[in-house]
């Protein structure tokens, strides 16, 4: 119900959680801070295929951020509701504001009620958090200006997409450089001069683990810098089976495949607010990264529409800057872990601005690089399988329209996931070091940093950032037809979808043939991917 002068905030409806156990009231005096996302001053310019046109960071922030007048109005209206409400930050360039105040006051200001609830978080651990259901309300004069209000509900939003291998089930395992060699990553390119952002929503790393791991591979330890977002920090929990495994898998994968690249590891709370703030901060960092790797996500049905819009637009900003955002497609097959018997895809892998990364099972000789077989990763209901399918939220992009994406489960068309793939089966997994313990890990969590490292190597070799790499990968594609630069995976399934020639909803377009992919991108030229010098205007391609 909306009150006088109030309207519902579009896309803010929160469903109830079936497993939520109410744990008492929220302390109304508890000080909390929200992230508000405001509308763009102008829509991002796009090509005929709907791809954001390349911009400098200054162009993006000045012309396609928020109008300062919009944020001033938001501040004036919301602080006028109660003297306890305070605007603690405003950044028109990234379209974000932070709003602080007592939890009870902020809940009333947005027409909702907050309680405490206990639910299962990543690793099935119990997490107590703020909880709401239903829609938010905003003053009518802010309708269309406020796009998202994040942080009232602090439920865990995402899970990391890694799986620890059972030692007795491991058939073969590889170091990340061995897999890069098998996939023929370009010789002479190691990411030097590039930056890679990594998003983490929990866990941490110790420098001693990095020194030991890279020394064991005969590599210098790369530059790895932890960046705190929304109060989160690099805090290793010393649980080799917990979030530390995700963090160290990502860092060790990137650092051994693209050892010349500097890494910025963004630690944020595992909430929709933390996720949006981390990605926004990462893609708009200076210098602009070649890639940002995301190995966390959740079924589209677990997100509010406002959160998905905010995160998709943050990734789109990255594309406009030339950033390739690689995202794990999930480890629960075509159901994505939803128990309704229907196919689902994982977000943010389903964002049309992200490079969705699926998983395979790779049998190869790490000494010679000879591949004996590579199939879709599917170890069954208890062992995990690659995510993939058709989005119920995002429309079929123009650049994917001729790939042969099937109809969405509810009918009509939608964005197909994944775009590409790589080795992800924990039974053919990666040798990593986590909290001092040697272990083997798989999951599509490994594929996102693998492709992020490849993007940094390609960027170094080409002298230009790649942005939405899919526009080149899907160029000229026809259904059931392999594409140059990628090796087609045609055997296996992830439940509802089977692999076959050309694009499929298990392995996308296939796994990389790095040297051939470099040659294809070089032959395509750089007119659609050129990056203007920072601060100088660009021309639309």
Q: Catalytic residue positions?
A: 246, 250, 445
Q: Is 100 exposed, middle or buried (0-12, 13-18, 19+ CB in 10 A)?
A: middle
**Cβ pair 154, 129 in contact under 8 A:** yes
Pair 39, 147: CB distance under 8 Å: yes
Question: Which distant-in-sequence residues (6+ apart) come within 8 Å of 476 by Cβ?
Answer: 483
- Cα 540 to Cα 5, 283, 512: the distances in Å are 42, 20, 29
CA distance 386 to 540: 37
Per DSSP (E only), the strands in 443-519 are 486-487, 511-512
- What span, in angstroms and rounded, lies between the C-alpha atoms of 28 and 107? 9
Place of tokens 């109830």: 16
For tokens 């692999």, the residue is 499
Is the peptide bond prior to 287 cis by the omega test (within 30 degrees of 0)? yes
Count other Cβ atoms within 10 Å, centred on residue 67: 16
Count of other CB atoms within 10 angstroms of residue 225 = 11
Contact indicator for 405, 391 with CB cutoff of 8 Å: no
Cβ-based neighbour number of residue 192 at 10 Å: 13
CA distance 196 to 188: 18
């Amino acid at each position: 119900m909306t009150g006088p002068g109030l309207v519902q905030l579009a896309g803010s409806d929160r469903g109830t959680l079936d497993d939520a156990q109410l744990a008492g009231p929220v302390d109304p005096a508890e000080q909390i801070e929200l992230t508000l996302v405001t509308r763009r001053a102008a829509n991002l310019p796009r090509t005929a295929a709907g791809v954001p046109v390349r911009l400098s960071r200054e162009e993006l922030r000045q012309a396609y951020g928020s109008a300062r007048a919009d944020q001033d109005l938001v501040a004036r209206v919301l602080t006028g509701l109660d003297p306890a409400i305070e605007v603690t930050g405003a950044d028109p360039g990234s379209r974000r504001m932070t709003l602080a105040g007592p939890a009870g006051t902020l809940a009333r200001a947005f027409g909702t009620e907050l309680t405490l609830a206990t639910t299962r978080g990543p690793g099935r651990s119990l997490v107590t958090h703020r909880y709401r259901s239903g829609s938010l309300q905003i003053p009518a004069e802010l309708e269309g200006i406020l796009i998202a209000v994040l942080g009232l509900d602090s439920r865990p939003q995402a899970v990391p997409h890694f799986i620890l291998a059972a030692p007795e089930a491991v058939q073969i395992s590889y170091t990340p450089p061995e897999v890069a060699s098998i996939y023929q990553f370009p010789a002479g390119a190691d990411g030097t001069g590039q930056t890679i952002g990594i998003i983490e929503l929990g866990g941490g790393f110790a420098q001693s683990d990095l020194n030991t791991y890279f020394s064991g591979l005969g590599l210098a330890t790369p530059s790895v810098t932890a960046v705190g977002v929304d109060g989160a920090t690099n805090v290793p929990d010393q649980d080799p089976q917990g979030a530390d495994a995700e963090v160290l898998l990502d860092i060790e994968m990137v650092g051994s495949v693209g050892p010349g690249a500097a890494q910025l590891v963004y630690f944020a709370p595992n909430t929709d607010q933390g996720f949006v703030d981390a990605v926004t901060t990462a893609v708009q960092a200076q210098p602009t990264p070649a890639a940002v790797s995301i190995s966390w996500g959740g079924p589209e049905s677990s997100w509010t529409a406002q959160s998905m819009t905010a995160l998709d637009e943050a990734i789109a900003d990255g594309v406009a800057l030339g950033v390739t955002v690689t995202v794990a497609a999930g480890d629960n097959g075509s159901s994505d872990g939803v128990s309704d018997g229907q196919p689902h895809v994982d977000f943010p892998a389903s964002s049309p601005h992200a490079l969705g990364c699926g998983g395979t099972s790779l049998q190869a000789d790490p000494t010679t690089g000879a591949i004996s077989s590579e199939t879709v990763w599917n170890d069954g209901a208890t062992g995990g399988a690659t995510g993939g399918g058709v989005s119920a939220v995002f429309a079929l992009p123009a650049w994917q329209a001729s790939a042969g994406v099937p109809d969405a489960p509810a009918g009509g068309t939608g964005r197909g996931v994944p775009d590409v793939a790589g080795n992800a089966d924990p039974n053919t997994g990666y040798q990593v070091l986590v909290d001092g313990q040697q272990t083997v890990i798989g999951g599509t969590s490994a594929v996102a940093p693998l492709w992020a490292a490849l993007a940094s190597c390609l960027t170094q070799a080409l002298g230009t950032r790649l942005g939405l790499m899919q526009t080149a990968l899907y160029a000229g594609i026809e259904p059931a037809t392999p594409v140059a630069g990628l090796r087609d995976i045609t055997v296996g399934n992830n439940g509802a979808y089977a692999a076959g020639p050309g694009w499929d909803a298990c392995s996308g377009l296939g796994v990389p043939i790095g040297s051939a992919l470099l040659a294809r991108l070089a032959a395509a030229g750089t007119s659609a991917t050129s990056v203007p010098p920072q601060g100088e205007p660009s021309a639309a391609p």
